[in-house]
Structure 1
Amino acid sequence: MLIGDVARRSGVSARMLRHYDTLGLVRPTGRTVGGYREYSAEDVRRIFHVESLRSLGLSLKQIGRALEDPAFTPSALVSDLIRQTEKRLAREKELLERLHAIDASTPTDWQEVLRIVELVRELDSPSAARRQQAVLARPEDVPVPAVLLAGAILTEPDTHVAGALRWALARSGGDGVATLRAGAHAEDAGIRRRAVLAIAEMPEAPGALEVLTHALGDLDTTVRRHAALALGRQGVAAAVPCLVSMVVEGCNDVDAAEVLGMLSLDPGCADRITTALVDELASPTADSATRIRLAQALVELAGATGQEVLRQLAHDDDGDVALVATALVGVLKERSLEDQADGHS
């Protein structure tokens, strides 16, 4: 077949076929009397082989080696192609996320687009200080897309930068919860922690309580704790078991006790909290330090039941527990006297 016929049947342009000939990749085995290229059936098969390998992303040089070297094995090359493709897809995904961020900001001119692109570039800086400065130094009149901030929160390893990003997200007025919601269901526990912590700082955003409530059942302890503190501050009683566990385990126990105190303002919830704390006090696995933390949590509770438990603990067989409970009973008496004085003034 002449080059024109091959081009029509193979879908490879005549120009590309000539290029293959020049490179020695596919050389027609024959020539007509007039000197035109003439391709055999085997030549055409080789063209299809070349095109098949090109479709996998191989360069023409790699294809030539693959077809000419009998000892060539494809495994190493295919592994390289996989890595290259994964990198390319990551770059494409990053580009797509940037475009979504720009689109979400509904820019009115190219200056706004350039400012957003500049922020994205600064957030990609290897310097944590520069990333933090990029967030905190934004002018008030320059809107920052919430989806961009939320996405950056999910990947930010530095706690200070992450804090700045959460602050900026809360001030953005945009809806970043949708992006954070996806992060709250990620396989990576670190991403889930960042997502839930960010949502915890904006609990009134649409859908935030739903995400936080789901996070109470997370396999990761830190995720559960972030969610429990946020939900407790919103008056959600479902957080009580996790908050009591935080007191028992001594992790953010002061914060947990304060939140339990807030929840105890609801009489129905107060009994539930007191019962849970008393059960932990009676646990055979509770050591002296644990029981002291539980006593300190009781002093935060509203109502008389917790106070009565503290008075009983003032006579506990454990001297350290009794000493702390006695001091806490004194604190409660002083607090009661102050309240009475305020009432008479």
Structure 2
Amino acid sequence: MTDSSRDTTALLGEALGAADPSVRLRAALHAGTRPDPGLIDPLIARCAVEPDFYVRDMLTWALTRQPPERTVPLLVSVLNDDAAPPQAHAQALHTLSKIGDRSAWNVIGPRFLNSPDDDIARAAWRAAVALVPDGQAPALAGTLAARFGAGGFERRRSLSRALAALGAPGAAAAEAATHSPDPRVVAHAEATLRLVADPDAAFDDHVAAAWRLLAPGAGVDVAEDAVVESDAEHPDDAAEHPDDAAGRSDGAESR
């Protein structure tokens, strides 16, 4: 690395910690546009503390542009670090799902798939679906389906999307869950099957339809599940469209 390259890397590292989120966003965009293995460590470190949604996803995008043989082991190390903050784990899982290197599969175990932290669990489900080895999708579907009916709307929606993304194994696991004695599990499984059949419809429509099939006697107000979708449920969008994200983050801090 030349002195000029070292200076640029150092400046980008400083910019990733700037007070202005638009500066941090542009620094991450630059890091992805001009990949440099010297930036992998500061990019991963920033993922653990970055408060802005769009900057976090730009950091992920920048990491996907670095050599995976360098990036993946460092992300796995983050996941093996019990002292790492929850956000570090969630972002490492999210980034691994984007890189798609199946060598990281073994680090995604019950600890993350069953995490009580919504962000970690949702990221783990996406990563597991992206990295699941051939022949292990049915077992993964069974693990995910065991979580039917648990958590809030966003968590349930993410679980349904993960199972739908598994295809036939996910649908089979959802079908089996429709025979549960728990109406919440049945409603969640029915909504998942509807999502598999009509992936373009809003998940809250599927949930409402499932509860209508069960009513009366389900014991839950349909309105509690009728939640409008928000950009926060689509963490993939900013990473796949970095220029759009740059424009959106020029205002104030996000989520």
TM bucket by the smaller chain? 0.5 to 0.7
2:175 aligns with 274
Which residue among 126, 129, 148 is the counterpart of 1:232?
129
Residue pairs, 1:60-99, within 5 angstroms: none
Find the residue that maps to 2:179 and give its secondary structure.
helix
Residue pairs, 1:12-161, within 5 angstroms: 107=1, 109-138=2-31, 140-141=33-34, 143=36, 145=38, 146-161=40-55
| 1:209 has 2:105 as partner | yes
For residues 128 and 143 of structure 2, what CA distance do their matches in structure 1 show? 12
* Shift in Å, 1:296: 1.8
* Shift in Å, 1:265: 1.6
- What is the identity percentage for the equivalent residue pairs of Structure 1 and Structure 2? 18
Contact 1:231 1:239 in 2 (8 A): no
For residues 317 and 138 of structure 1, what CA distance do their matches in structure 2 show? 53
Distance 1:315 1:251, change over 3 A: closer
| 1:265 has 2:168 as partner | yes
CA RMSD across the alignment: 3.4
Aligned residue pair count: 197
Say which structure, 1 or 2, has more relative contact order (CA 8 Å, 6+ apart): 2
Gaps in structure 2 of 5+ consecutive residues: 198-209, 223-255
1:97 aligns with none
For residues 226 and 271 of structure 1, what CA distance do their matches in structure 2 show? 22
Residues 221-268 of structure 1, C-alpha deviations (whole Å, 9 max, x = no match): 4322211222124453325433552654333434432332343424xx
2:233 aligns with none
For residues 52 and 214 of structure 2, what CA distance do their matches in structure 1 show? 45
The letter of the residue matching 2:4 is Q
Which residue among 236, 242, 245 is the counterpart of 2:147?
245
* Shift in Å, 1:272: 3.5
* Shift in Å, 1:128: 1.7
Find the residue that maps to 1:245 and give its secondary structure.
coil
* Shift in Å, 1:140: 3.9
Contact 1:274 1:298 in 2 (8 A): yes
For residues 26 and 216 of structure 2, what CA distance do their matches in structure 1 show? 52
| 1:318 has 2:213 as partner | no
For residues 139 and 256 of structure 1, what CA distance do their matches in structure 2 show? 30
Contact 2:177 2:189 in 1 (8 A): no
Q: Rg: which structure is higher?
A: 1
The letter of the residue matching 2:65 is R
For residues 186 and 167 of structure 2, what CA distance do their matches in structure 1 show? 20
For residues 232 and 157 of structure 1, what CA distance do their matches in structure 2 show? 26
- The alignment's TM-score, normalised by the length of structure 1, stands at 0.48
- The alignment's TM-score, normalised by the length of structure 2, stands at 0.62
* Shift in Å, 1:126: 1.9
* Shift in Å, 1:177: 2.3
Which residue among 66, 71, 90 is the counterpart of 1:172?
66
For residues 128 and 32 of structure 2, what CA distance do their matches in structure 1 show? 33
* Shift in Å, 1:127: 1.9
Contact 1:200 1:212 in 2 (8 A): no
* Shift in Å, 1:315: 6.7
